Amino acid sequence: MTDAIVLRSLKKRYGTSTALAGIDLTVPRGSVYGFLGPNGAGKTTTLRILNGLAGPTSGTAHVVGHPAGSTAARTQVGFLPDVPGYYEWMTAREFLSFAGGLFGLSGPALSERVRVLLDLAGLTGVTTRIGGYSRGMKQRLGIAQALVNAPALLMLDEPTSALDPIGRRDVLDMIASLAGRTTVFFSTHILADVERVCDTVAILDEGRVVVEAPIDELTARYGAHRVVVEVDRDAESLAAALAVLPWAAAASVGGDGRIEITVSDMMDAGRDIARLVAESGRSLVRFEPGEVSLEDVFVELVGGGGGARE
């Protein structure tokens, strides 16, 4: 089966500024794919190219087997931009009917599709015009209009970034409900959103994909476990001693004196930590094993570096 998105050596420059420095990416069909990166990493530029709103400087972009932006590609794609524009003088029903009409839908099929999507977006019975909607209502309407053609691929650009916690939860629930029914590709800089609904993730930084993998594989690849250790004194020197051991991928001391260690072998780590603490005469206050989060991987890969133009 054709992959949902295939990018090869995709570059985009604006004058002297590089937005995309050569992206290679493959999004398999059926996945809920998180396109993660700090602000300015190039996420929106990539999505604009994928939807034909901008052209690449070089490289290729294919969507469901067709060149990005072609009529054949647009027929099978639903898209929600980062700042969606609405005809604010329309009602939600009129807007969805208009969007469906642009896909050639009409008659009872269109009416039924609009009814289902209004229900999905929680806008059934809302008769006020879009200009009077809250951000959350607009965002849910934006996702609904992107689904009006029952797309093979749904692309969402930062769908939760401007929402309050309840609006964010609603939108994530909508996305999660689509898993298994269509391919979802959404960009975000909010790690928790990706961990909650995505099965695969690509991390973008300064116009490059720094990693692309299923989330489970990614956290395993970058250290399967994390251990938090707290001792009664002199945490810095203990952290330094632990950091050089073969199973320690990284060790750092937080502001509260806790040592956070990324470990590749939990058994060895447990034995060596206990031994070193005992030999140094310290008291072990806390030993807490845990999983490495996507945030840990993200920070490790992206760090605090600046970004290219979004």
Question: Could you list the residues that contact another protein (CB under 8 A)?
Answer: 48, 51-55, 71, 74-75, 77, 79, 81, 83-87, 89-90, 94, 98-99, 101-107, 110, 145, 149
Q: Which is nearer to another protein, 81 or 307 (CB)?
A: 81
DSSP bridge partners of 58:
11
CA angle 255/261/266 to nearest 5° reads: 150
- Contact between 41 and 59 under an 8 Å Cβ cutoff? The reply is no
Of 12, 7, 98, 19, nearest in space to 309 by CA:
19
Q: Which is nearer to another protein, 102 or 274 (CB)?
A: 102
CB of 131 to another protein, least distance (A): 10
CB of 128 to another protein, least distance (A): 13
Of 40, 65, 67, 39, nearest in space to 52 by CA:
67
Please give the distance of CA 261 from its chain centroid, rounded to a whole number.
Answer: 26
Q: Which is nearer to another protein, 5 or 239 (CB)?
A: 5
Contacts of 78 (CB under 8 A, 6+ apart): 145, 146, 147, 148, 149, 151, 153, 154, 155
Q: Which is nearer to another protein, 46 or 219 (CB)?
A: 46
Q: Which is nearer to another protein, 51 or 262 (CB)?
A: 51
CB of 81 to another protein, least distance (A): 6
CB of 224 to another protein, least distance (A): 41
Of 245, 249, 246, 244, nearest in space to 223 by CA:
249
CB of 94 to another protein, least distance (A): 7
Q: Is the dihedral of CA 19, 22, 28, 33 positive or negative?
A: negative
